[in-house]
Amino acid sequence: MSKVDMHMILKKNTEFLPQKPYNPLCFDLSVRNDLCMLDLRINANDTLALNAISKSLKGLNLPLNPFTSVQNTIYSILWLSTDQWLIVASEKQSEELTQSLNQALSAFDYFSLCEVSHMRSVFRLVGRQAENIIHKGGSLDTTLPYFKDGFVKRMSFAEIPAIVHFLSCQKEEQMIDLYVFRSYANYVFEWLNQTGHKDAAL
């Protein structure tokens, strides 16, 4: 790499998405900007590969049950489909995590690991009304017996593709991460500000 003129180093766009809601909302809304996300696709029956991945994730196994997630203090892994997971960590972990996984998977030829940190924006919804906001956005069955903390599902939210991750389902302390494609983030932010207005609480 040639020497880079410091003033020309590209900077992240921090103004693409507002950080604070402009309306008084019936839940707490924050934007999670500091995440590293990797999209992993691999055959879930490939035990050797799964073991290798587990080792590189400091012993955390990929969740194999549908609609579940696992997490430790460093990583969260969201089940997306029978052969797809989203690995989420803090931005600081990005390089180490990517290297570690690439190294672990280097012995295998049938997998896909894509860096997708910029692909999605993540909204965190906290409070008693958080689940109701999700229900305003789209169809999600929260009466299922396996709806519990860690529940994750892809859904159509406000008519756009989204992933919802229920970190806590407890009525008083609901905490939900809503993953949407970055290009929709401003639309979703606007949608949350209007539909989540405190006057619109159920």
What are the residues binding other proteins (CB under 8 A)? 1-5, 8-13, 15-16, 23, 39, 41-42, 83, 109-112, 114-120, 132, 135-145, 158-161, 181-187, 190-191, 194-195, 197, 199-200, 202
Is-contact 110 42, C-beta < 8 A? yes
Residue with tokens 């892809």, as numbered in its chain: 154
Minimum CB separation from other proteins for residue 93, in Å? 16
- Least distance (Å) between residue 54 CB and other proteins: 19
Phi, psi of 107 (to 5 degrees): -80, -5
CB atoms within 10 A of CB 76: 21
Q: C-beta of 130: minimal distance to other proteins in Å?
A: 14
- Tell me the closest approach of the beta carbon of residue 86 to other proteins, in angstroms: 11
Q: Report CA torsion sign: 27, 28, 31, 37.
A: negative
Closer residue to other proteins in complex, CB, 101/140 = 140
DSSP state of 53: H
The nearer residue to other proteins, 12 or 59, going by C-beta atoms, is 12
Q: Give the span between the Cα atoms of 118 and 48, in whole angstroms.
A: 30
Nearer Cβ to other proteins (75/191): 191
